[in-house]
Amino acid sequence: MRIHSSILLLAVGAGVLLTAMITTNSYLAMWSSPLIASWFAHGSGAVVAWLLLLVNRRPTQAGVRPAFVKKAPLWSYLGGIPGALTVLLAAIAVNSPLALAGSLGLMLTGQILFGLVSDLRGWFGVIKCRFTLLDLFSVALILCGSALLIMYR
């Protein structure tokens, strides 16, 4: 598989934005509460998403949907709940002795492990596939890095 530079840039940009968001949330949580910080992050994100939808709005005939657009399954709407909990728990964890780097490392490890189990079991309609040695190696490296950050901070 070839990695395109645009995908790599998007991945790096997403990582930078995630770090900036969690840092900003942790400062806001330090001065108020993690719940208020989470509401602020999701509220500002909702406003930006709404503005982007308004900007990218395409004029169509009323009530006519393109043939290729299908309704999303109901379980896909639950994605916001773990995201909100991640923001809330990140604001709590960053202000703890664990700090930002350890929190991010553990969150990434949890996401990778859940993704591997989902792939193995075929959850959420994904194609079943087995673990590879590279998958297990990446999880081990992230766990070791997280352990180093937590123990020797």
Residue 107 neighbours by CB under 8 Å, 6+ apart: 86, 90
Residue 44 within any structural domain of the chain? yes
Report the percent of the chain where pLDDT is more than 90. Answer: 0
Residue 91 within any structural domain of the chain? yes
Q: Are 90 and 107 in contact (CB under 8 A)?
A: yes
- pLDDT tops 70 at residue 24: yes
pLDDT of residue 67: 63
Residue 145 within any structural domain of the chain? yes
- pLDDT tops 60 at residue 1: no
- Both tokens of 20, joined, read 């900036």
Residue 49 within any structural domain of the chain? yes
Residue 42 lies in domain = 5-59+82-151
Domain total in the chain: 1
Residue 77 within any structural domain of the chain? no
Residue 73 within any structural domain of the chain? no
Residue 102 within any structural domain of the chain? yes
- pLDDT tops 70 at residue 55: yes
- Both tokens of 72, joined, read 């999303």
- pLDDT tops 80 at residue 130: yes
User: pLDDT for 74-116, tens place per residue?
Assistant: 777 777 777 777 777 777 777 777 676 777 777 777 887 888 8
